[in-house]
């Protein structure tokens, strides 16, 4: 039988009370209370306000983790009367945003994949619907080979060297402008993959190229989807649907630890609703502080974004584009073990 010392390499600490500053994962026996305790993530998590991005933006790209993220592009309106497509790039360290080298061209709706030092963006270059592919190395942006299909509002996930771009919207495409295209990216070249089960756009996606997940989306003229599909690199499989149908949401995580927040629901209204998927079921958790849609898209990490995630920018009309940033975290707390 496995033992704690065999697994962790140390014995369980025995103390008269609780440690003053326990570490995540620490286990001890409290001789005063005669109980076994541990310190780690507890509860379902909650949103809290964080440092805003320097300008109100919607449709921007995002990649990385809560303490090392990169955000780029997007569209801004105030104080302008029409959208201004951006090439600005900001990095986030968990506390503040810093402007860094700009994208090689203005872009919107380029959902990101990867990390702060190895990100990629697939989507549109602003007013046109393109097969744009650009890469970020933590310092500079470079243009990559074009994606095999042109569209905006694609669902992108994976990494810079093993990414997936699926579905999207392309004016004139039949029957509704929505696409079911899927393509894989290896950091250099694209390979056309099997089609998604239904033409869709503005869906959310997370995970890896061989363990991905895609959810929600818009299927004109009237369908706002709640459906969820997992992906093994070849085949799409239907799994339980979200509780709230939505599109243009922010999300991230892995195939078995996914978070989705905000987006547009029935009536074209922004929602604060947040849900978490554990690989088998969806659970509604704490709402965003501000209902939003068209937030930054990306954060497609293999880690559990259900423990630490950010929502940045978006729209909440009225009043319009927002610079709001919120962080979702599950707090560390002491847990007492009980027998049953």
More confident of the two residues 289 and 308? 289
Architecture of domain 46-329: 6 Propeller (2.120)
pLDDT cut 90: percent of the chain above it: 60
pLDDT of residue 25: 79
pTM of the full structure: 0.87
Residue appearing with tokens 């847990």: 335
Residue 78 has pLDDT above 60, yes or no: no
The number of residues in the chain equals 340
Residue 87 has pLDDT above 70, yes or no: yes
Q: Which residues contact 91 (CB under 8 A, 6 or more apart)?
A: 68, 69, 70, 71, 97, 98, 100, 116
Domain extent listing, the chain = 4-41, 46-329
Mean pLDDT of the chain: 89
| C-alpha to C-alpha distance for 212 and 206, rounded to whole angstroms | 6
Residue 28 has pLDDT above 90, yes or no: no
More confident of the two residues 175 and 183? 183
The confidence band for 339, taking pLDDT boundaries of 50, 70 and 90, is low
**Torsion angle, CA of 283/284/288/290, rounded to 10 degrees?**
140
Q: Count of CB atoms within 10 A of residue 220's CB?
A: 13
The confidence band for 80, taking pLDDT boundaries of 50, 70 and 90, is very low
| C-alpha to C-alpha distance for 238 and 244, rounded to whole angstroms | 16
| C-alpha to C-alpha distance for 240 and 226, rounded to whole angstroms | 9
More confident of the two residues 337 and 149? 149
pLDDT of residue 316: 76
Which tens digit of pLDDT belongs to each residue from 278-304? Answer: 999 999 998 999 898 999 988 766 566
| C-alpha to C-alpha distance for 323 and 57, rounded to whole angstroms | 6
| C-alpha to C-alpha distance for 255 and 258, rounded to whole angstroms | 6
Least trusted range by pLDDT, from 32-46, 150-164, 179-193, 210-224: 32-46
C-alpha closest to that of 95 among 63, 58, 48: 48
């Amino acid at each position: 039988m496995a033992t704690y010392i065999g697994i962790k390499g140390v014995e369980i600490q025995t103390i008269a009370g609780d440690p003053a500053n326990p570490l995540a994962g620490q286990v001890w026996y409290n001789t005063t209370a005669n109980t076994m305790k541990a310190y780690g993530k507890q509860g379902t998590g909650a949103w809290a306000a964080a440092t805003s991005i320097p300008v109100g933006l919607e449709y921007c790209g995002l990649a990385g983790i809560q303490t090392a993220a990169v955000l780029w592009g997007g569209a801004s309106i105030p104080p302008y009367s029409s959208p201004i497509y951006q090439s600005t790039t900001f990095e986030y360290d968990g506390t503040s945003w810093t402007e860094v080298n700009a994208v090689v061209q203005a872009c919107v709706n380029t959902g990101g994949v990867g990390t702060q030092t190895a990100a990629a963006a697939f989507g549109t270059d602003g007013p046109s619907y393109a097969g744009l592919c650009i890469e970020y190395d933590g310092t500079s942006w470079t243009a990559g080979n074009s994606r095999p299909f042109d569209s905006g509002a694609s669902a992108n996930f994976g990494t810079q060297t093993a990414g997936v771009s699926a579905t999207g919207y392309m004016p004139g495409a039949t029957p509704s402008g929505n696409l079911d295209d899927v393509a894989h990216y290896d950091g250099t070249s694209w390979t056309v993959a099997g089609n998604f089960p239904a033409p869709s756009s503005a869906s959310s996606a997370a995970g890896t190229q061989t363990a991905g997940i895609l959810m929600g989306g818009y299927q004109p003229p009237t369908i706002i989807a709640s459906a969820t599909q997992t992906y093994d690199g070849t085949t799409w499989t239907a799994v339980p649907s979200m509780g709230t149908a939505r599109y243009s949401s922010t999300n991230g995580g892995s195939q078995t630890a996914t978070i989705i927040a905000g987006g547009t629901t029935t009536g074209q209204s922004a929602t604060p609703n947040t849900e978490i998927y554990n690989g088998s079921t969806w659970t509604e958790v704490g709402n965003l502080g501000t209902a939003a849609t068209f937030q930054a898209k990306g954060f497609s990490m293999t880690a559990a974004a259900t423990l630490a995630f950010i929502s940045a920018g978006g729209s909440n009309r009225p009043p319009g584009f927002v610079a709001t940033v919120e962080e979702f975290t599950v707090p560390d707390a002491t847990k007492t073990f009980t027998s049953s």
